Structure 1
Amino acid sequence: MKDLHSGTKALVAIAAATLDADNTPPAIDLQGYDAAEFVLAIGAGGITFSGTNKIEFKLTHSDDDSTYEAVTVNDVLGIDSVADGGIVKALTAAHATAGVYRFGYVGGKRYLKLLAAFSGTHGTGTPIAATAMLGYGHDNPQADQA
Structure 2
Amino acid sequence: MKDMHSSLKAQTIFGPVALSADNTPAALDLRGYDAAEIILGVGVGGITFSGTNKIEFKLTHSDDDSTYAAVETADMLGVAVASGGIIKSLIADHPAAAVYRFGYKGGKRYLKLLADFSGTHGTATPLSATLLLRHGHDNPQANQA
State the TM-score, normalized to the length of structure 1.
0.98
In structure 2, what is the equivalent of residue 145 of structure 1? Answer: 144
In structure 2, what is the equivalent of residue 122 of structure 1? Answer: 121
1:38 and 2:42 equivalent?
Answer: no
**Cα distance in 2, alignment partners of residues 89 and 25 from structure 1:** 16
Residues 51-90 of structure 1 aligned to structure 2 (within 5 Å)? 51-79=51-79, 81-90=80-89
**Cα distance in 2, alignment partners of residues 115 and 35 from structure 1:** 20
Q: What 5-or-longer segments of structure 1 have no aligned partner?
A: none
Q: How many matched pairs?
A: 145
Asked if the contact 1:14/1:115 (under 8 Å) is kept, the reply is no
Aligned-residue offset at 1:15 = 2.3
- Percent identical across equivalent pairs? 69
- Give SS of 1:74's match: helix
- Give SS of 1:6's match: helix
Q: What 5-or-longer segments of structure 2 have no aligned partner?
A: none
**Cα distance in 2, alignment partners of residues 104 and 125 from structure 1:** 27
Consecutive aligned runs of 4 or more in structure 1 exceeding 2 Å deviation = none
State the TM-score, normalized to the length of structure 2.
0.99
Asked if the contact 1:61/1:113 (under 8 Å) is kept, the reply is yes
Aligned-residue offset at 1:25 = 1.3
